[in-house]
């Protein structure tokens, strides 16, 4: 498939996806979802990619969903629109490999929801965050009501969604929505440094760690601990784990 919206590069076990509709501030439309799901189909078949990075072109990460597509929706179309976005972002969240959002600018509406579906978020100090759907008489539809509360807490999610407030990067960091703020010219360098660090870790431990954390979050503490114990134990069958333990004992870097 030829991509018109996505620019994709893969190097050193890291895939970088750039969303490129700069004239529309990278707003998400049906073509984006078609291309992105095709990309995920291909990615799920690869074993040479260990980390995925998502960013936007120009001054925006993603400034929301394409409003022009929603203008004439009825309830049926609204249901399908929400379901498509949720299904796609759930796929992204459930990838075995870690996903990092490199947020270079506006992350509003569907863009904030896309960022929240990633495993963690690094932002330029020029980035802006928000769920402004109330200004349209709507609520978030791509699981924003659910992920925002889980990431920032109930009070912050209610405040952000019901007021349609826009956050600076520093405010988003304070709320726990993002993990780090950097200068714009350093954003991709910082993100790629983190991606490389993850890609160079014990290969099986990384996806197992991600899966264990996410599964535990959706259950009670005791069940989460049981999931952790099972996952921890299975890693002792892995060659990389044995190499990591041996390297530590021998005071050298592991040869994964």
Who contacts 168 (Cβ-Cβ below 8 Å, separation ≥6)?
125, 127, 128, 129
- Residue 218 CA to residue 129 CA, distance in Å, equals 25
What does the angle CA 7 – CA 108 – CA 147 come to, to the nearest 5 degrees? 95
pLDDT of residue 213: 97
User: How many angstroms separate the CA atoms of 25 and 121, rounded?
Assistant: 19
For residue 256, the model assigns a pLDDT of: 78
Structure tokens at 168: 């600076």
Pairing label, strands 120-124, 99-103: parallel
- For 80, residues 6+ apart whose C-beta sits below 8 A from its C-beta are none
Closest-CA residue to 14 (of 184, 197, 235): 197
Residue 93 falls in the annotated catalytic set: no
Q: d(Cα 166, Cα 222) in Å, to the nearest integer?
A: 37
- Domains of the chain with bracketed CATH: 6-199 (3.90.226.10), 205-249 (1.10.12)
What contacts 132, CB < 8 A, 6 or more positions away? Answer: 64, 108, 109, 164, 166
Catalytic, 133? Answer yes
- CA gap 31, 203 in Å, rounded: 33
Look up the pTM and report it. 0.95
Which pLDDT belongs to residue 131?
98
Q: Which of 35, 75, 113, 228 is catalytic?
A: 113
Residue ranges in the chain modelled with pLDDT below 70: none
75 Cβ contact partners less than 8 Å away, ≥ 6 residues apart = none
pLDDT at 70: 87
Q: How many whole angstroms separate alpha carbon 85 and alpha carbon 114?
A: 9
Q: What integer pLDDT is reported at residue 255 of this predicted model?
A: 86
Q: What's residue 231's pLDDT?
A: 96
The token pair that represents 28 in the structure block: 């998400």
Give CA–CA dist 215/227, Å, rounded.
8
Catalytic annotation, pick one of 75, 133, 171, 250: 133
* pLDDT recorded at residue 182: 98
Residue 41, C-beta contacts closer than 8 angstroms, at least 6 positions apart: none
Going across the sheet that includes 180-182, the strands are 6-11, 14-19, 51-56, 99-103, 120-124, 180-182
Q: Are 163 and 134 in contact (CB under 8 A)?
A: yes
């Amino acid at each position: 498939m030829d991509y018109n919206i996505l620019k994709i590069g893969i190097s050193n076990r890291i895939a970088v996806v750039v969303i490129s509709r700069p004239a529309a501030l990278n707003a998400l439309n049906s073509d984006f979802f078609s291309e992105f799901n095709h990309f995920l189909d291909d990615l799920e078949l690869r074993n040479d990619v260990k980390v995925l990075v998502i960013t936007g072109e120009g001054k925006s990460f993603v400034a929301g969903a394409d409003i022009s597509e929603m203008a004439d929706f009825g309830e049926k179309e609204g249901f399908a629109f929400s379901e498509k976005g949720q299904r796609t972002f759930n796929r992204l969240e459930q990838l075995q490999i870690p996903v990092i959002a490199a947020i270079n600018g506006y992350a509003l509406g569907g863009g904030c929801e896309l960022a929240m579906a990633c495993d963690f978020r690094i932002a330029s100090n020029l980035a802006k965050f928000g769920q402004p759907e109330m200004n349209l008489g709507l609520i978030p539809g791509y699981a924003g009501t659910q992920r925002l509360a889980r990431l920032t807490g109930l009070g912050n999610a209610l405040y952000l969604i019901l007021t349609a407030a826009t956050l600076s990067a520093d405010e988003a960091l304070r709320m726990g929505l993002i993990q780090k703020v950097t200068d714009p010219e350093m954003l991709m360098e910082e993100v790629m440094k983190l991606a490389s660090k993850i890609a160079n870790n014990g290969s099986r431990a990384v996806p197992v760690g991600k899966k264990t954390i996410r599964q535990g979050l959706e259950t009670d503490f005791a069940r989460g601990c049981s999931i952790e114990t099972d996952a921890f134990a299975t890693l002792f069958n892995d060659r990389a784990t044995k190499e990591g333990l041996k390297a530590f004992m021998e005071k050298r870097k592991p040869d994964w």
